[in-house]
Structure 1
Amino acid sequence: MKKVILVTGASTGLGFATAKILAAEGHTVYGTSRDIKRIKDAPFKPLQMDITDDASVNTAIAQIIKNDGQIDVVVNNAGNGIVAPLYATPVDEAKRQFEVNFFGMVRVNSAVLPGMIERKSGMIVQISSLGGLFGLPYQGMYCASKFAVEGYSESLRMELLYTGVKVAVVNPGDFKTSFTDNREKLPFSLSHEKLQKDFDAAVACMGRDEQNGSHPDVVAKKISKIISKANPAHNYLVGALGQTIVPTLKAILPGKMFAKLMNGHYGIK
């Protein structure tokens, strides 16, 4: 059954791949960007939307409803990343991270869900991260924003349980996208040679892991399968086995051992 689908953050990476594949399957797909000029050669319908702005979100949603009458699926993909020591991250920077990764998603859902509830059908697909299931050194604010997505989605699923609207969360690992280049690295403001070295090592490891990751089409194809399900699972972990097994390791290992394991991977010793 063909659907009307909204994919946020569709100018590059996972969002572009998802919108492209869903459109190729015959769905009516709107892919958003705050700067529509960034969406080039799109096989889907580009749509201007700044998820940090209420008016922009509401205008874009209204345009889709005017064109197609309804929205069947929302893929909340838009997001960004900040790397910095948590003890040296200004509150304004933390707010900015949450404004995109969490509150942007809340705005979109709040604009779309009343219509889905009224029709007693629809699906919200939240693009979280494996970093929403366990912490990562020097990506603490990013992880915190994704942990928030997890808690929000779990509660939302409970609230919508008897409405016909489904909620699924996708937790990707590292994939080769422009996310690496777009990640913002805040200055290391503390005068501490050892911690500065740890920070630099961790940031370098993040980039290597992502650039050695799989093509974003892997996630896009998983999302395609999810939206075809009448009863999707709560969470879908997508990525290399060495990454998707980490939540299990977190559950069975002592906390100190798990922290050492993660630090070791990022070159922190």
Structure 2
Amino acid sequence: MKKVVLVTGGSSGIGKSIALYLQEKNYTVYGTSRSPDRYPDSPISLLALDVQHQDSINLAVKKLIEKEGQLDILINNAGVGITGPMEETPMDQVKNAMETNFYGPLRVLQAVLPQMRNQKRGRVINITSIAGYMGLPYRGIYSASKGALEIATEAYRMECAHLNIHFSNVAPGDFATNIAAGRFHSPIISGSDYEAGYAHSLKLIDEHVDSGCDPMEVAHKIYEILQKKNPGIHYKVGSFLQKFSIVLKKILPEKQYEKMLKKHYGL
């Protein structure tokens, strides 16, 4: 029997790559989008789902289960990018990022876990970010939202282990996707004390995304994890330097690590 997979945010970027690759590997895959009608030629079955609205999530999950009778794997991928000085980032945008990147996956789990508990089996992979392991300058809100999901997953994993529901995180680095197009970035304010540092950092962030790796690498890692009987909790996908930055944070003195990050971002 084919395993049924739900990939939130499966209409583009990393989510679409995951959905396409798992479909090639003979999984039954459903992606989600707030507006599936925008993708009439999607090779993936898309469900209407907005991670900020529980009713929308519940309806999508109900439709999937009614059609397939099971839901074996959830890939919590939907997310938004956000940049800006911590002080100057509008609070409504801060809330939007947290609603999507942190509360959103939790809402989806509220709808999915009852089915997995009834089945007495399930896999959940939350897509976080290497940025979630550190407070990056001018990406602090994004780092915080993904870091929160990393920690929450650790708790879910322990609480659901006896239910035969396995949780893992996959933290990508910079990948060549369209995330920059949909990302909110606070305006560069002329005369602001953050003007020069933010302008330089924003240019660097965009360059990293444009020169990023193929998002299919994340899909390959997801498939690799799904083949494991007892998957681990934390996985990273990205360049050597991006992954090594997490190791350096563990071994370097705090001030030295901070100095290294500031130098990297030209601060």
Please name the residue that 2:138 is paired with.
138
Range that drifts further, 235-244 or 180-189:
180-189
User: Are 1:178 and 2:178 counterparts?
Assistant: yes
Aligned to 1:177, what secondary structure does the other structure show? Answer: coil
Post-superposition CA distance 1:71-115 (Å, at most 9, x none): 100000000011111112232221111010011101101100011
Task: Give 5+ residue unaligned stretches, structure 1.
Answer: none
Please name the residue that 1:153 is paired with.
153
Range that drifts further, 251-260 or 237-246:
251-260
Identity score, percent: 40
TM-score (ref. length: structure 2): 0.96
Deviation at 1:43, TM superposition (A): 2.4
Post-superposition CA distance 1:14-46 (Å, at most 9, x none): 000000111111111000000113335332211
Post-superposition CA distance 1:91-143 (Å, at most 9, x none): 22211110100111011011000111122100010000001111211011111
Aligned to 2:161, what secondary structure does the other structure show? Answer: coil
Is residue 20–residue 42 contact of structure 1 (8 Å, CA) maintained in 2?
Answer: no
Pairing 1:143-222 to 2, within 5 Å after superposition: 143-189=143-189, 191-193=191-193, 195-222=194-221
Q: 1:67 to 1:90 in 2, by over 3 A?
A: same
Deviation at 1:227, TM superposition (A): 1.5
Pairing 1:64-83 to 2, within 5 Å after superposition: 64-83=64-83
Is residue 5–residue 73 contact of structure 2 (8 Å, CA) maintained in 1?
Answer: yes
In structure 2, give the amino acid aligned to 1:133: Y
Post-superposition CA distance 1:182-239 (Å, at most 9, x none): 211112458435x211101101101111111111101011111112221111011101
User: Matched residues in 1 for 2:36 and 2:75: separation?
Assistant: 18
User: Matched residues in 2 for 1:148 and 1:88: separation?
Assistant: 22
In structure 2, give the amino acid aligned to 1:199: Y
Is residue 18–residue 219 contact of structure 1 (8 Å, CA) maintained in 2?
Answer: yes
User: Matched residues in 2 for 1:146 and 1:220: separation?
Assistant: 19
Q: 1:30 to 1:36 in 2, by over 3 A?
A: same
Please name the residue that 2:111 is paired with.
111
Pairing 1:12-31 to 2, within 5 Å after superposition: 12-31=12-31
Is residue 188–residue 199 contact of structure 2 (8 Å, CA) maintained in 1?
Answer: no
In structure 2, give the amino acid aligned to 1:220: A
Aligned to 2:6, what secondary structure does the other structure show? Answer: strand
- Runs (4+) of structure 1 exceeding 6 A deviation are none
Task: Give 5+ residue unaligned stretches, structure 2.
Answer: none
User: Matched residues in 1 for 2:172 and 2:153: separation?
Assistant: 16
Deviation at 1:166, TM superposition (A): 0.2
Please name the residue that 1:241 is paired with.
240
User: Matched residues in 1 for 2:27 and 2:77: separation?
Assistant: 18
User: Matched residues in 2 for 1:123 and 1:256: separation?
Assistant: 39
User: Matched residues in 2 for 1:164 and 1:81: separation?
Assistant: 33
User: Matched residues in 2 for 1:88 and 1:184: separation?
Assistant: 13
Please name the residue that 1:123 is paired with.
123
User: Matched residues in 1 for 2:216 and 2:93: separation?
Assistant: 31
TM-score (ref. length: structure 1): 0.96
Deviation at 1:242, TM superposition (A): 0.7
Please name the residue that 2:258 is paired with.
259
User: Are 1:87 and 2:91 counterparts?
Assistant: no
